[in-house]
Amino acid sequence: MDLKQLLLKDAMIMDLKATTKEEAIEEMVDKYYQVGVIDDKELYKKDILKREAQTSTGIGDGIAMPHARDKAVKRATVLFAKSAKGIDYKSLDGQPAYLFFMIAAPDGADNLHLQALAALSSLLINPELVKNLKAAKTADEVQDLFDKAMQEKEAKDKADEEKQKAKAAAAASATNDDEKKPYVVAVTACPTGIAHTYMAEAALKEQAEKMGVDIKVETNGSEGVKHLLTSDEIKRADGVIIAADKKVDMPRFDGKHLVNRPVSDGINKAEELINLAVDQKAPVFHAEGGAEEAQEDSEEKKSLWSRIYADLMNGISNMLPFVVGGGILMAISFLLENSVGAKSQWFLFFNNVGNYAFSFLIPVLAAYIAVSIGDRPALLPGFVGGYMASQATASVVSSKSPAGFIGGLLAGFIAGWVVIFLKKWLKNLPKSLAGLKTILIYPVLGLLFTGAIMYFAIDPIFAVVNAAITHFLESMGTGNAVILGTLLGGMMSIDMGGPFNKAAYTFAIGTFTATQNGALMAAVMVGGMVPPLAIAIATTFWKNKFTEQERQAGLSNYILGLSFITEGAIPFAAGDPLHVIVSSVIGSAIGGGLTQLWGVNVPAPHGGIFVTPLANKPLLYLLAVVIGAVISGVIYGVWKPALKKNK
């Protein structure tokens, strides 16, 4: 594909007006919308910010590459923008960004588009090209510079390919070890697989050539796996480099010195990574070593809490589709029940299918917590342990209550660490039995140990605990209910989608599943709707305190808030956390408490204002939302400092 088809002149901004990262993103997204590259600004911007939240796309050396791939994009495009003064983009090297490449890829992008995007990304490690781009005055100059650079790269790639073939042949026939060059293999991967994957590949290859080191780099990008490493290449390598921000196929590197770093290190610290691999100073990777031995050897080790949180979020994120899908169908069934009756086939169909989905909540939660810890061998014991936690008779104690969500959480962590223990315990088995580990030994022993712990310990104890919690929730007075509703509502706004938000939401789901009482669902629903609605109210009535871009984004928060999408407030919270979060927590806590004071019950796990017909007191449900949102919106609007006027 001709790069001119990607680098549209109409989409270039040769003099970026923005002075902050948020303004730069807003200005570039607006440009895309103006030229028709995207048809939904808020969706595309949300995905851009989601990618930025993972790690800054300001890769250093004055370059930023924000990118997203979603259904808002109509055609694959790269927006080029320049800032004369530079912008603090929170880049990885801490320096201002001057050149911006906002990459837009449609959901259904074909391989041709993806190859062109990958090629374009890999060009940006060329310092000469970057220097010339900074000096470019017109859109035509930018296109011409990339055309020339692409032609040079294609010629170099062709020459390198021939050279690699010759080196491989020479290596195969060489008898003198002193004549062999150091050889390393690498894998690069980033979450979206559009830009950083290929920039890291190019940086590693260029640095290896300067150091006289032979290298082969496998890319796990948006096109899929390219340049797949063979077993012979891995065996021959002095060391392995993994520069990735997502999971890659690791067991094949068993027994090799392995450097495991973020993809940004592949771009910015290529020399350091290659030296570690060549000198074999990186730790030896053991495929059976479990989570502890598979940790990154980066300077910042994950804390115990961050590991637990990552495992928990893996379970919750895989459980949520069952919550939303099953919950919406159940909500529809309740609407049908009011009009066609409880014995109608339509009611029974929707209600039963929704309940079937809900019956998988705890098993799926436990299974994917276990997988996050112990990988695929932990799936079976995690799933069965979660199922045992969801059944009232699955233990030595006769109880009408199952261990529930608490038991399911524990089942996931127990199954994961049981598998880790088995991997360490059995690592010295004869190689002749290695093939039996994944298909026989881990499943059988993992299920046996996890099942025993659940049957004799977790289920008996937490069946009693869960029954006590359920009894307390069903019998608590109005005062206790208001306190709990206030707490849960406030938690929904503390981090707007983070651990506090998820903890409150998961607790409400667990209560709803156990009691079929939607009182706490009303509290968390109201608490989650308040932050974006408060943003919308503040930007509407205190316009002079917000930029034009912020006012436009504020309008979209009316829809996001009413839809129970708390994340709509995240961009504002990121730019002004004190004012946004404090005001939101106050309104959310009040709204959540009011639902319990008024005895509001919403038997649906999602839907925001659109499930109002299901509420037992729909007008009071809406009033709690309005009161919470207005209080937060007024506090934020009054408290927020006025914009500083440019002189």
Question: How far apart (Å, rounded) are the C-alpha atoms in residues 203 and 270?
Answer: 6
CA distance 596 to 600: 6
Inter-residue contact 386 to 412 (CB < 8 Å): yes
Both tokens of 328, joined, read: 């919406």
Which segments of 375-453 does DSSP mark as H helices, in order?
A: 379-390, 404-425, 434-436, 442-453
Q: Is 617 left (phi over 0), alpha (psi -120 to 50) or beta?
A: beta
Structure tokens at 451: 């099942």
Question: 3-class SS at 241?
Answer: strand
Residue type, 484: L
Provide the β-strand partners of residue 241: 186, 259
Sign of the C-alpha dihedral, residues 262, 265, 266, 270?
A: negative
Q: How many residues does the chain have?
A: 647
Known catalytic residues?
Answer: 67, 190
- The 8-class DSSP code of residue 246 comes to S
Q: In sequence order, what are the beta bridge partners of 94?
A: none
Closest C-alpha among 121, 418, 428 to residue 291: 418
How many Å apart are CA 624 and CA 159, to the nearest integer?
A: 68
Q: What does the alpha-carbon distance between residue 538 and residue 534 come to, in Å, rounded to a whole number?
A: 6
Nearest by Cα to 561 from 521, 603, 593, 609:
609
Query: Distance from first CA to last CA of the chain, Å, rounded?
Result: 46
* Calpha distance 80→467 (Å, rounded): 60
Residue (of 128, 106, 298, 117) closest to 196 by Cα position: 117
Show the tokens assigned to 414. 């127990």
What backbone phi and psi angles, to 5 degrees, belong to 58? Answer: -80, 95
String of DSSP letters for 67-130: EEEETTBSS-EEEEEEEEEEEB---TTSPPEEEEEEEEEETT--HHHHHHHHHHHHHTT-HHHH
Rounded to whole angstroms, the Cα distance separating 411 from 389 reads 7
CA distance 363 to 102: 41
Distance (Å, whole) CA 442 – CA 376: 10
Count CA atoms closer than 13 A to 361's CA, side-chain side.
26
Tokens linked to 422 = 């088995």
Closest of 457, 565, 546 to residue 501, by C-alpha: 565
For residues 370 and 412, is the Cβ–Cβ distance under 8 A? Answer: yes
> Which tokens in the block code for residue 83?
């800032």
Nearest CA to 637 out of 535, 502, 488, 533 is that of: 535
Residue 287 CA to residue 431 CA, distance in Å, equals 14
